[in-house]
Amino acid sequence: MKKNIAVYPGTFDAATNGHLDIIKRAAKLFDKVIVAVLVNQNKKTIFSVKERLKHLREITKDIPNVEVDSFEGLLAEYMKKKDSCIAVRGLRAVSDLEYEFQMANTNRALNKEMDTIFLMPRARYTYLSSSMVREVYSLGGRLQDYVPEIVEKALIKHYKK
Ligand code: PNS
């Protein structure tokens, strides 16, 4: 089990500058960071897994130790496959804690080797979430400073349909 590989799992629908902030912080702490997009057929997303992978690869292309991948099923099993014992999650506010606490404990019950570490994004991103971004764009608003350019273009295209 390698200690220097971290996995940053999530839905990333849509990827925000808050996600990118966490990725950059994790990339400074670990030799390798795998950004892992969950493939969940039951969850309705605006972007396909292929699109989300494309967005994440584009926004992380200048960070050499970041890899973008997708996974199905349990995160705890994916971590074993990737030989990683550290999951990274962003913590924006105390309101995130209950969900994250539940998830981290469930994952640890499924994989004893695994721990979750939490990183805080820059203060300006603390209130930012993918769902808020989707809502703003669906109503014709724009949040240029909060989403990467490729994601902003994709959001505009998506809601123009
Ligand atoms: O960005 P999100 O939607 O908050 O990410 C949630 C995610 C993908 C990290 C979480 O739902 C997950 O890991 N799902 C995989 C299934 C799993 O392992 N479930 C048990 C632990 S919650």
Domain count, the chain: 1
Q: What pLDDT shows up at residue 41?
A: 85
Q: Can you tell me the distance from the alpha carbon of 124 to that of 13, in angstroms, rounded to the nearest whole number?
A: 20
Cα separation, 8 vs 84, in Å, equals 11
How far are the Cα atoms of 47, 68, 126 from residue 50, in angstroms, in the given order? 8, 11, 27
Instruction: Give the mutation target among 35, 75, 133 for probing the ligand 1 site: most ligand atoms within 8 A of CB.
Output: 75
**Which of left, alpha, beta for 73 (phi over 0: left; psi -120 to 50: alpha)?**
left
Task: Please give the order of strands across the beta sheet that includes 32-38.
Answer: 66-71, 32-38, 2-10, 84-90, 115-119
Residue 111 has pLDDT above 90, yes or no: yes
Residue nearest to atom 22 of ligand 1 (CA): 103
Atom from ligand 1 closest to the CA of residue 130 = 1
Which pLDDT value is given to residue 71? 98
Whether the predicted pLDDT of 33 surpasses 80: yes
Atom 4 (ligand 1) nearest CA: 10
Name the percent of the chain lying above pLDDT 70.
98
Atom of ligand 1 nearest to the CA of 12: 1
Q: How far apart are CA 46 and CA 68, in angstroms?
A: 19
pLDDT, mean of residues 59-71 = 98
Between residues 33 and 42, the one the model is more confident about: 33
Closest ligand 1 atom to Cα of 89: 9
Confidence of residue 95 (pLDDT cuts 50, 70, 90): confident
Give the integer Cα–Cα distance in Å for 161 and 156.
9
The pLDDT, as a whole number, for residue 10 is: 98
DSSP string over 57-80: HHHTTT-TTEEEEEE-S-HHHHHH
**Length of the chain, please?**
161
Q: Which listed residue (25, 89, 92, 134) is catalytic?
A: 92
More confident residue, 99 or 161: 99
Domain extent at residue 146: 5-160
Catalytic choice (19, 25, 89, 134): 19
Mean pLDDT of 3-12: 94
Band the pLDDT of 133: cuts 50, 70, 90: very high
Residue 1 reports pLDDT greater than 70: no
Protein residue whose Cα sits closest to atom 17 of ligand 1: 74
Position 3 pLDDT exceeds 90: no
Q: What is the mean pLDDT of residues 131-150?
A: 95
Q: Is the Cβ–Cβ distance between 21 and 59 less than 8 Å?
A: no
**Cα(67)–Cα(57) distance, integer angstroms:** 8
Task: Tell me whether residue 55 is one of the annotated catalytic residues.
Answer: no
Whether 92 is catalytic: yes
76: domain CATH number is 3.40.50.620
CA of 27 to the centre of ligand 1 (A): 21
Helix (H, G, I), strand (E, B) or coil at 7: strand
Q: How far is CA 68 from CA 23, 96, 156, in A?
A: 11, 24, 24
